[in-house]
């Protein structure tokens, strides 16, 4: 099967680069200095999964057809990326969202159809340390993939799962991917904006009573919204999830700096609208109030508009 990576940032480089290292044919689309370096001179994936040199990568040629499109763009670029990728997608091909936030699979399905839309939950972290170099920094759990339509070609999806595992990316197929996407949204909404606003790694948020309580309240609001929308979550109550969150999920990622913080430091747009912002919009639709999610959304928007001076990330 031929793969096309849409969005060759940190995660797109890891997925595409490791698949290619395992022998899968992979093409890449991206922009900026990192992608230019990968195209012209190649690069390196390093970090907790080992070192993998990358030869220069290729982009798709006109008329080329791909079995699998891996969508790794930011959530606010989903609609444009899907429209761009659609002509390259085989009639029985799949578009797999490996993105943050809510609303991505719905946008893919609008263009490509639900049968060809696959949701993904990614809960490992990577950073572009320099143009051409991506470091895998943290790993909390397997990648999960799942169909949103009962008529999706599961045999093809199972081949993707096998390819990911052979590439060294632990992966499984699940029947309830929307539950897992919302579970990740819980994790992301609690940690990402607060870490960005306060400029601290995830572990610091779990060490202090004040930030622990803020995260608990954010999670409680999301449970209320999910319940009103009929979304099933893995843990039946917010309290049970919060205990799991503090004891199991945060410790392996304690040293990780939020992607929103990295975006703000670089003067880039964040994904707040697909995370806490989306929770607030859904809350309005069902007649609920989410003041804690609303507060962090407003603070991140404020910081986005400040266009801060670029600074070197800690440890870089």
Q: Which residues are annotated as catalytic?
A: 184
Give how far Cα 204 sits from Cα of 141, 196, 200, 210, 295, Å. 20, 12, 6, 11, 20
| Tokens, residue 104 | 């991505």
Task: For residue 19, count other CB atoms closer than 10 A to its CB.
Answer: 24
| Three-state DSSP class for residue 289 | coil
- DSSP 8-state secondary structure symbol assigned to residue 248: I
> Helices (DSSP H) in the chain: which residue ranges?
10-21, 32-41, 78-85, 104-112, 154-166, 177-198, 202-207, 209-229, 238-244, 259-265, 276-285, 291-304
Structure tokens at 18: 């490791």
CA dist list (Å): 210 to 200, 207, 217, 239, 249: 14, 9, 11, 17, 19
């Amino acid at each position: 099967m031929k793969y096309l990576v849409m969005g060759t940032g940190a995660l797109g480089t890891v997925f595409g680069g490791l698949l290619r290292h395992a022998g899968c044919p992979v093409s890449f689309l991206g922009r900026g200095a990192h992608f230019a370096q990968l195209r012209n001179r190649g690069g390196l994936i390093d970090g907790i999964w080992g070192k993998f040199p990358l030869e220069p990568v290729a982009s798709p040629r006109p008329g080329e057809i791909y079995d699998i499109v891996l969508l790794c763009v930011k959530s606010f670029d989903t609609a444009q990326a899907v429209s761009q990728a659609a002509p390259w997608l085989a009639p029985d091909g799949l578009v797999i969202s490996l993105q943050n936030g809510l609303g991505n699979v719905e946008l893919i399905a609008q263009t490509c159809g639900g049968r060809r839309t696959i949701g993904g939950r990614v809960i490992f972290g990577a950073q572009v340390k320099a143009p051409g170099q991506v470091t895998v920094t943290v790993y909390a759990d397997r990648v999960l993939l799942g169909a949103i339509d009962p008529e999706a070609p599961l045999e093809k999806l199972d081949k993707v799962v096998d390819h990911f595992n052979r590439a060294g990316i632990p992966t499984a197929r699940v029947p309830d991917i929307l539950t897992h996407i919302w579970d990740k949204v819980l994790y992301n909404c609690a940690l990402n904006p607060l870490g960005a606003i306060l400029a601290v790694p995830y572990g610091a948020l779990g060490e202090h009573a004040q930030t622990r309580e803020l995260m608990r309240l954010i999670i409680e609001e999301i449970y209320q919204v999910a319940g009103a929308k009929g979304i099933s979550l893995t843990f039946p109550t917010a309290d049970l999830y919060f205990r799991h969150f503090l004891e199991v999920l945060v410790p392996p990622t304690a040293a990780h700096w939020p992607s929103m913080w990295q975006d703000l430091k670089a003067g880039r747009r964040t994904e707040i609208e697909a995370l806490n912002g989306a929770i607030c919009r859904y809350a309005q639709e069902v007649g609920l109030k989410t003041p804690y999610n609303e507060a962090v959304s407003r603070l991140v928007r404020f910081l986005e508009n400040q266009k801060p001076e670029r600074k070197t990330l800690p440890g870089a």
